[in-house]
Amino acid sequence: MKKILFVCTGNTCRSPMAQGLCQKYISENALVGQFGCASAGLDVKKGARISENALIVMNEIGVDMSSHRAKMVTAEMMQEADCVFTMSSTHKNMLEALFPKDANKIRVLGHPIFDPYGQNLEFYRFSRDSLKDKVYTAMDEFREDLARQKALEEEEQHKAELFGGIYGRYY
């Protein structure tokens, strides 16, 4: 299973909304069991609930985030993730500094992803809709990258079998 991690600051608005949208994408595209996702933050009040307005706007599109609790990003999360999407270049830079071994899998989800924390419902809806576009596009691109990688690996395997068999006869 390929694992996606979304990271923001407090893990109460943007990254949990991105996680919920990713779960929706996975379900809509019949990818359950092939992909999984989670979210975390860089400056977290551990166990904090998703913000009330984020909960409301996600419920509006049929995504229940009521069980979400904020988590601090950990080395284990970073190691297990196949791809890490941040909400800003600042988040990306911080993760690269904290987890240099995982820098190659960290990407900024897109610009701008405004932090809706403390804003009204309309702003949260705007953020949710912006995130949906970016998460769905990123997931499409990630799946395409995986398909290209798999095709290259299969081609290399085929060449190894073909040429290994030929060369093997002469040694």
| Residue among 49, 82, 115, 143 flagged as catalytic | 115
Q: Which residues of 82-166 form beta strands (DSSP E)?
A: 83-86, 106-108
Average model confidence (pLDDT) across the chain:
93
User: If you write DSSP's letter for every residue of 42-68 in order, what string do you get?
Assistant: SS--TTPBPPHHHHHHHHHTT---TT-
Predicted local distance difference test score (pLDDT) of residue 155 = 83
- Alpha-carbon distance 137 to 17, whole Å? 15
- Alpha-carbon distance 48 to 55, whole Å? 13
Is-catalytic flag, 8?
yes
Q: Is the pLDDT reported for residue 31 higher than 90?
A: yes
Predicted local distance difference test score (pLDDT) of residue 171 = 46
- Alpha-carbon distance 152 to 148, whole Å? 6
- Alpha-carbon distance 139 to 106, whole Å? 14
> What average pLDDT score do residues 72-81 get?
98
Q: Is the pLDDT reported for residue 161 higher than 90?
A: no
User: pLDDT (tens digit, 9 = 90+) per residue, 119-154?
Assistant: 999 999 999 999 999 999 999 999 998 888 888 888
Q: Do residues 60 and 70 touch, judged by C-beta distance below 8 A? A: no
Q: Is the pLDDT reported for residue 166 higher than 70?
A: no
Angle, helices 14-28 vs 52-60, to 10°: value is: 20
Is-catalytic flag, 148?
no
| Residue among 13, 14, 22, 128 flagged as catalytic | 14
- Alpha-carbon distance 141 to 152, whole Å? 16
Q: Helix, strand, coil % (nearest 5) of the chain?
A: 55, 15, 30
